[in-house]
Every structure is written in structure tokens, then in C-alpha cells.
Chains A and B, each alone.
Chain A
Amino acid sequence: MVTRVVVAGGGIAGVSTVSALRAGGFAGDLTLVDAGEFPYDRPPLSKDYLAGRTELKSIALQTPQWFDDQRVRLITEASIATLRTDLGAVELGDGTIVAADRVVLATGGRASRPPIAGANSPRIHVLRTAEDAERLRAALVPGARVLIVGGGLIGAEVASTGSALGCEVVLSDPVWPPLGRAFGSEVAAWLHGMHETQGVTTVHAPVEAFEDAEDGIRVTLAGEDAPRIFDAALLAVGMAPETALAESAGLRVDGGIVVDAGLVTSNPAVLAVGDAARRCDDGVLARRSEHWEAAQLDGQRAAATILGVAPPADTAPWFWTDRYGVHVEVVGELGHAKQFADRGVLGEPPFSVFAMDSGRVVGAVSVDDPTAVRAARRMIDRALTIDPAQLSDAATDLRKLVRGRPTEGTI
């Protein structure tokens, strides 16, 4: 019987795990170990928190009172040094032993640092933690020349935040448009085009070298003769899962801590959730999701595994992003669809695009039109047959297309 659970990492996956365990009736000892001052939410780190519009306490994932009420022992500014599976325990960095029948690894990831010459300059930033955001914020002063390397979700959000703070932002990504697979190429192109209309310069060249200089950092972009000079640069080129603890414990690691559908690693006493985990179903390794809600759902699934109850129902993947005052959401998959149904005019928010396959919705992207994505999610999850003409008809109430219709199949 499982009576002691230790969760490593207080991001959304870890906090979701302890929350779901208690909600599911787990009455045993529950410990959450986190490196930060307290568990906080990360999406604001590239937006309101970076801009200085909100304080860290306001983005706490739960209040101190909640952890007390839920009888979660919170060990902060600490980390697990070793999994002592031989003892049924974990050992913290300071040598403290905490007994555990199950350990849940919610160790997240580190910002990728590509092997570019000079990338260890103090003018170079990454963005994963509140400390990273505070350091970057200090560099985002009005008039600062800022290079963002990578036009993905975080790079684009920081470009938006930085230009609103009065920085001269250049965004570099060798791919055009970035995020084509995530948003579908047309919407991705429009979203990427927003950078230029909002005063951010976009270039489509990889960085070849950084070099510190007295007046800033010189950056050589591929195909350019003279280096450009910036006051600061952000590397926003993705993340690497934090797997060191799992590796030292001899767990199977392959581009993430390998887990089964119940989030159990190669050691039955150890589970892994969120950005650090990589699903392997029937011998096939899946792509890691790296999104907020996926991490939350992982926590709920891991809790169900520990409790021995049915996991939450599968649902289409979902994420949001905010840039230049527009709110963008995506559900399902848009990258591979052959047929699309536009709702509203692409480029004139609010609008949305539905991706179709064989009479069913497989994905949707919305800009300032979140109801469309909520409707699409239900259409996908219930495998509803939908007429694309109805989706495109502005007179159609999308809620009515979904309400009262039971599931027609599986996703």
C-alpha cells in the first residue's frame, strides 16, 4: 500500500500531482520538493511577470495556506540529490532522507543552449525560471537593443513584451514562418508578420557567433558580412528535459524520462510527469508535449496510477499564447490537415481556423475567439461529424453544434 509519496519539482506537473492525489482521497504523507522560493506558474514569466506588471506571489501556483490545508509538506529551495530506491526513500541535497513508497519526477527542463561560440556571455539570457525573468527584465530597458534567437512561443512572447517596454527588438529564426506545424502555416505566417507591424525586426538567419565587446555583444548572423551589435540577447530555442536524477537512478531515459501510459518509469516505484517525461506506447516513443495543460494532465494521470483508479479521459492537446494584445489558442493538430474551414477573416481578429480530416475536426486555432477552440475541443474529443460549411458560417452558433451530442467515436 502506498502511504508516502514524494514529488520532485513544483511546476504545474508537480503541483497538479499533489493536488490530484489529495482530491482523489490519498491520505498518506505527501511531500513536494522544489528549488524555488515557492511553486509558481511559468506562463507569466514571458509576459506580465517579465514586464514587471505582477509580483511573484501573484503567480504562485497555490497559496501557502493551500499547502497547509492539503497537508502537503513543502520543502523549498531544495532538490533531490539521489533516488534511494534501495531504501524506499529519496536523499535531498543536504543529506536529509525522506521515505517514499512512490517518487514522482516533475523535474521539468532547462533552456537549450546551442553550441554557438561566445554563448556564455553575461549579456546572453535564457528564460525558464523567475530568476531568469528578473535578470532579463533588468536588460529590457527602453531603447535597449535586444536580439531574440528563436521565434517560437517564448521568443515571440518576449519580443512582444520587450517592444512594449520600448526595446529595439530583432527576432531571428532560420525557419519561416516559425510554428507552422503548431498553428498551421497560414496563421503562423500572419502571427509572425505581426512582429514587423509592431516594430520588431525579423530576420531569417541562424546565429553563427557571439562576441563580447565594450559597447555590447556582437552577433554574426549567417549571410551577413558585418556583425550586428546588441545590448542583450535571449536564447529561446527550446528546452532540454531535466533527466539527471533519473539517469543516476538507472531509469530508462531517451530524450526524456521514458514512461508508460500510466506515467510509470522503468522502475515501478518511480513515475515521471510533465516536460521531463516522454511517453512510450507499445514500444513507440512519442514527442514530448512541453505545454502547460499537458503537464497538468500528467499530474492527474500519475495520481490516478498511484491511487489505482481510472485516469482522466483523453482529450485533445491544448495551449494558448499571447502576443501584441491578441490571445491565441490551439487545440488538436493543425500541421498535417489537408482541409481547413475559416471562421471570420484570417488576419482580422476575432477569427479561427478549423482543420478537418474525413468529416471530422482534428484541430483548431483561434485568435481572440476562444469559444471556437472550446467548441473544437469537444468536437474532437467526441469524434463528431461536422459540416465545414457550418463552421465557416458566421451565423452558426458553435455551442449548438456541440451541445447535447454524445460521443460518436474515439480520438
Chain B
Amino acid sequence: MSNGIRVAALDDIPEGEGISIDRTVTGTDDDIALLRDDDGSVWALNNTCTHAEASLAEGWVEDGYVECPLHSSKFCLKTGTVQGLPATRDAVAHRIEVRDGDVYLFPHKRP
């Protein structure tokens, strides 16, 4: 685990978008959303919005935030901190490392 879990190739995630990684791969309670900001950086949050059944991987990623596709609550990519109602709870953020074009996840480690 010390090297993380390889969860995707960096090229699998278009800038400004996200993909979801199944919890059977990550061993986490929830699926993991890998979210790529428009500057190319990659971040990982629990995939299910903390407000309702929606996949953050299908959200709009821009300027350090992902916007939920259902009710538009925004979460900070880096910390998972919620920025706007209707969600009231922060999303869980996980550490990501990119090595040789591959994305590695460190579940429950701080980004």
C-alpha cells in the first residue's frame, strides 16, 4: 500500500472532467471520483455527493472545484470542503500521486 493503488492512466481523464473508480478496486466505502482540473492536476474525492445520490465524477470540474451534476453544490478538489448548499457535509478527499503517466490512489491519506 505504501506505493498506492494504480487506478488509472492519466490520459484516461480528460481535463475538466472526472472518472469513477469502483470501490472493489480501491477498497474504500464509496467509489472514488478522479477529477482533473483544467490545469491538468488530478484529485480524488468520494464519488457520491454528500447531499443526494449523484456521481461527482460526472460533475463540472473547473478552477479547483467540482460542481455536482444534480443540485450544483461545489466541493474543493484539494480538500473536499463543501462551498455551497444544498450539500452541508464535506466530501472525503484522498491523496493522489502521478508517476510515469499513471495515477496512484492512497485511500484515506490526506492530499
Contacts and interface: CB of A to CB of B under 8 A. Distances in A.
Q: Do A and B come from one complex?
A: yes
B70 A327 contact: yes
Given A374-B60, A399-B16, A320 B70 contact: yes
B38 interface: yes
Interface stretch (B5-13, B23-31, B80-88, B95-103): B80-88
Given A12-B85, A403-B38, A320 B69 contact: no
Interface residues of A, number: 26
Contacts of B70: 320, 327, 370
A374 B67 contact: yes
Interface in A72-104: none
A61 B51 CA distance: 10
Interface in A347-400: 370-371, 374-375, 397, 399-400
A183 interface: no
Which of the listed residues A293, A375, A399, A400 has the most CB atoms from chain B within 10 Å of its own CB? A399
A202 interface: no
A396 to B, nearest CB: 14
Contacts of A19: 85
A267 interface: no
A95 to B, nearest CB: 33
B71 interface: yes
A128 B72 CA distance: 23
A292 B86 CA distance: 10
A154 interface: no
A211 B84 CA distance: 46
Contact of A399 (B17, B69, B72, B85): B17
Q: Is the interface of A mostly helix, strand, loop or mixed?
A: helix
Contacts of A370: 58, 69-70
A60 interface: yes
A19 B73 CA distance: 15
A265 interface: no
Contact of B88 (A61, A318, A371, A400): A61
Contacts of A404: 38
B22 interface: no
Contacts, number: 43
A395 B21 CA distance: 25
Given A318-B72, A370-B69, A403-B16, A60 B62 contact: no
Nearest to B84: A296
Contacts of A374: 60, 67, 69, 72
A15 B86 CA distance: 11
Contacts of A63: 88
A62 B69 CA distance: 21
Contacts of B85: 12, 15-16, 19, 41, 61, 296
B60 A66 contact: no
Nearest to B60: A374
B16 A60 contact: no
Contacts of B17: 399
Contact of B71 (A60, A320, A371, A399): A320
A63 B82 CA distance: 14
Nearest to A48: B52
Nearest to B83: A23
A60 B60 contact: no
Contacts of A397: 14
B18 to A, nearest CB: 11
A371 B69 contact: yes
A16 B86 CA distance: 10
B76 to A, nearest CB: 14
Contact of A371 (B14, B60, B84): B60
Interface string A288-331: 00001100100000000000000000000010100000010000
Interface of A: 12, 15-16, 19, 41, 43, 60-63, 66, 292-293, 296, 318, 320, 327, 370-371, 374-375, 397, 399-400, 403-404
Given A63-B88, A318-B72, 5 more contacts: A296-B85, A370-B70, A375-B60, A397-B14, A399-B17
Interface of B: 14-17, 38, 58, 60, 62, 67, 69-72, 84-86, 88
30 contacts: A16-B85, A19-B85, A41-B85, A61-B86, A61-B88, A62-B88, A63-B88, A66-B88, A292-B86, A296-B84, A296-B85, A318-B72, A320-B71, A327-B70, A370-B58, A370-B69, A370-B70, A371-B58, A371-B60, A374-B60, A374-B67, A374-B69, A375-B60, A397-B14, A399-B16, A399-B60, A400-B16, A403-B16, A403-B62, A404-B38
